[in-house]
Structure 1
Amino acid sequence: MSRQLLAMALAPLLGLFILGIGNGFLATLITLRLDAAGESAVVIGWVSSAYFIGLAIGAVLNDRLLLRIGHIRAYACFASLVAITVLLQGLWLEPWAWFVLRLIGGWATVGVYLVIESWLLTASDTKVRGRLLALYMISLYAAGVVGQLMLGVTDAAGEAVPFMVIGMLASLSVLPMAVIPRVSPLIEHAEPLPPHRLIMLTPTGVMGCFGSGLAIAAIYSLLPLYLQRTGFSVDKVGQMMAVVVLGGMLLQYPIGRWSDRHDRQLVLILIGLACAAISLGALWLPGQPWMLAGMLFLLGGGTFALYPVAVSHAADRAPAGALVRMSQGLLLINAVGSTLSPPLITPLMGHIGDVGLFWALAGLGGFLAVFFTWRRSQRPAPLPMAPFTPNPPMTVVGAELNVTEELVQGAIEHEHVEDLSHAVPEVSVAEPLHGPPRREEMIIEYVDEDKLHSRPVEAR
């Protein structure tokens, strides 16, 4: 990855890190405050869902502002709105008021995510996309670790102090975006990408983002509730949540690098299987906190890596002009999954107990693994282009190229040519018309009954 690319990504990643400290802190803080106020799990679930409803609304509307005023000014608008909603939450504790404020905060937060994701996708290519999005998630989850650790530090300072700190962090996150970058990514004419076309384009990416929303919302909203009812103190809950986020942070880059070098669908299958196995393992753990912390570390690494790999898979199949709209659509799908997660899982927890959280996560991981396997059987990963085999120079005009069966098959797979079983390769050598001969050009033609495909291949 070039230094120029990292320099271009520094401002959005640093801004995300500062804002993410408060955002990760806030999710756990709201759950604990409502539980301490005597609110039921259903009320806590709906207040948590309000944030994700706002994410879904923002994912539909926020791209218009981004395309109109650009990345930097759009980020400043959204981050300022996040700060306002958080500070208002510190003024009074009413579930209905928090529902409205969390909805507005979710709308603004998804705008921040849209700015940063579209910035990174526009600035990168396929070869480094997985690693760059992994750095994006590392910044987000590293901020989450710091935010969870702040839970115990600010708990004794007063009820309004944590909300003041979070609001100040949201305002501070504007500075890197406003000061550091000399240029921002060029926003060209955005191609429309309606939901049905996005689903047809990449069903795997859509399902991966939807499943990621279900899993991460459950972890942020309901895992603190499970830990507190299991007997952990407030500071211990913060530490356990920090372990979850730390696992997601540390495993992001290895998994992203792995997905850049291998079939992303296979990576998604293995992530689903790992999440299912880890969730089932957490059900039969003995009471040692260190064993639970180890399982939560791995669970965070698996569930939090699901979204960037799914987005990278989808971006590999999207046209260049549709990246902003694709990012918007996947954020919407992710927000829909996050919205549905607490209302779907809390009744299960009320019916079979708090361990219903891990049963739900295990079932989700198994379903995703099965779905990704089915999609991979329907649309296998394309084979890489077969390399040319140079032979020793035979003439002064250049090197002779050996056309092998592997070369022909690679060319067919690269061009997505269907049903060429009757094609006959024909090879001809074209000499330059003017000047001294400097190279020879080989034309490989595939002659079919109805189609004629040609691909020029140059030997230098």
Structure 2
Amino acid sequence: MSRQLLAMALAPLLGLFILGIGNGFLATLITVRLDAAGESATLIGIVSSAYFIGLALGAMVNDRLLLRIGHIRAYGSFASLVAVTVLLQGLFFDPWAWFVLRLIGGWATVGVYLVIESWLLTSGDQKVRGRLLALYMISLYAAGVLGQLLLGVTDAMGTTAPFMVIGLLASLSVLPMAMIPRVSPIIEHAEPLHPLRLITLTPTGVMGSLGSGMVVAAAYTLLPLYLQRIGMSISQVGQMMAVVIMGAMLLQYPIGRWSDRHDRQLVLIGISGFCVLISAAMLWLPLSTPLLAVLLFLLGGGVFAVYPVAVSHAADRAPAGALVRMSQGLLLINSIGATISPLMISPVMTAMGDAGLFWAFGSLSLFFLLFFVWRRRVRPAPVPVAPFTATTPMSNAGAELVVTEALMQGALEHEHLEDLSDAVSDVDVAEPMVGPPQEDESHITYYDDVEQEGERK
């Protein structure tokens, strides 16, 4: 990567890293604080879902605001709002007030990601998007790991200190963006493909995106609740959540390379079956701390890999002109799954106890496993058109980062091959003649008709 490109991407990536530390920290912090106050799993799920509702709403409307006021001012406004909502949560405790603050915070957070991702999008063309996306993923996951580890560091500082630290990080993330040249990337208002159109185009991609959103959101918001209720300290909860994110970061690329060598539906079947086994192990095995860490590492690698494999599978079927809108539509589906997940799974934990989380994980994974098996029997997956692309976008602009030069070229070649196949199948080819031609010359007219038909096509 050239120094010029790295210099253009450095400021948004640094802002992302600083903000991401606090953002990953906050989700776990809210869960453990609500549980320590004696709130039910259902109420914790409701408060947690507010953040994802805000993300979904912001993904649909924030680009209009960005177009009006510009990138730098939008970033400052959104980051300041994130800091305010976090600091207010530290000042007083009320679950329903926290619900409202988390909703506003989610809306503002996706605005921050929209600015960062759109800036990265315009930092280079399709030839370098793969490298930009790799840097983006490293920054995001590394920030998530550090954020979880901060949970134990700040626990001894008092009840308000963690919220103050997160507010400070949100404010500090403005500095790198404020120092870049006053040039705003040009973006267009996003119009993702309608969910019904997506279901017609790629049922497997839609269900994979939905299921990934559900399981990943539960991992972020309800897994800390499970860990705390089985007797772990705040510091241990943070360490185990860091292990989950490490698994997501380190195993996503090996799974992606596996999907390049086999049809991606088979890979989705394998991941879903693997998640069923991990859930069963969490329920039935006697869990020592080392074994729990290994299982959570593998679980993180599995559940976080579903979405990028599902998006890559969908891209194998999509026309080149629909790749961007398809990616944006699947991001919306993923957000819907994340929104409903805490609302669905937390009542299961209330009814069945802490183990209800893994009963829910296992049941969801089994459902999607059966769906992917059925889809593979109905319509086998095509040959992958481009190498696997890891995806962790938070906004429509980030979804466009996924459309690399290799993916676009692969989709165009796939369309060309399909056009040739259709052209050949539309022309009836006569069986070869055996022996000398007969006196009847009707075959000459037949071949002439075929030739003329081919010319017209």
TM-score normalised according to structure 1 size: 0.77
Q: Are 1:247 and 1:300, in contact at CA under 8 Å, matched by a contact in 2?
A: yes
Give the share of equivalent positions with the same residue, in percent.
70
* 1:246-257 map, 5 Å: 246-256=246-256
Q: Which residue of 2 aligns with 1:52?
A: 52
Report the Cα offset of residue 306 of structure 1: 2.5
* Aligned 8 A contact 2:15 2:175 in 1: yes
Quick one: distance in 2 between partners of 1:374 and 1:349?
30
The alpha carbon displacement at 1:78 in A equals 2.3
Q: Once the 2 structures are TM-superposed, how far is the Cα of residue 257 of structure 1 from its aligned partner?
A: 5.2
Gaps of 5+ in 1: 386-408, 426-446, 455-460
Q: 1: CA distance between counterparts of 2:14 and 2:150? A: 19
Counterparts in 2 of 1:257 and 1:328: CA distance versus 1, 3 Å: same
Partner of 2:174: 174
CA displacement 1:16-61 (0-9 Å, x = unmatched): 2211111111111111111111211121111111111212221221
Work out the CA distance in 2 between the residues paired with 1:205 and 1:5. 32
Equivalent-residue separation in structure 1 for 2:126 and 2:269 (angstroms): 20
1:312-351 equivalences under 5 Å are: 312-314=312-314, 317=318, 323=324, 326=326, 328-351=328-351
CA contact (8 A) 2:53 2:103 kept: yes
- Give, in angstroms, the shift of residue 287 of structure 1: 2.8
- Cα distance, 1:359–1:3 mapped onto 2, change above 3 Å: farther
Q: Using the TM superposition, give the Cα deviation of residue 300 of structure 1 relative to its aligned residue in structure 2, in angstroms.
A: 0.8
Tell me the amino acid that sits aligned with residue 223 of structure 2.
L
Amino acid at match of 1:197: R
| 1:385-396 equivalence runs, <5 A | none
Q: Distance in 1 between matches of 2:87 and 2:174?
A: 17
Give runs of aligned pairs for residues 40-439 of structure 1, distance below 5 A. 40-69=40-69, 71-119=71-119, 132-180=132-180, 185-187=185-187, 193-256=193-256, 259=259, 263-314=263-314, 317=318, 323=324, 326=326, 328-376=328-376, 377-378=378-379, 380-382=381-383, 413-415=417-419, 417-418=421-422, 420-421=424-425, 423=427
The one-letter code matched in structure 2 to 1:371 is F
Computed over aligned residues only, the root mean square deviation of the Cα atoms, in angstroms, reads: 3.5
By relative contact order (CA 8 Å, sep 6+), the higher-ranking structure is 2
Q: Whole-Å Cα distance in 2 between the matches of residues 221 and 146 of structure 1? A: 17
Q: Deviations over 1:352-405 (max 9, x none)?
A: 3211211211222233333344445526325769xxxxxxxxxxxxxxxxxxxx
- The Cα of 1:146 is off from its aligned counterpart by 0.7
Q: Which amino acid aligns with 2:417?
A: E
One-letter code aligned to 1:274? F
In 1, distance between residues paired with 2:95 and 2:385? 55
Paired residues, number: 409
Q: What does the per-residue CA deviation read over 1:318-342, in whole Å, with 9 as the maximum and x for residues that have no partner? A: 655873x555533432222112112
> TM-score if structure 2 supplies the norm length?
0.77
The one-character-per-residue Cα deviations of 1:92-135 (angstroms, maximum 9, x if unpaired) are 00111101000111111222334444555666788876675454
Q: Which has the larger strand fraction?
A: 1
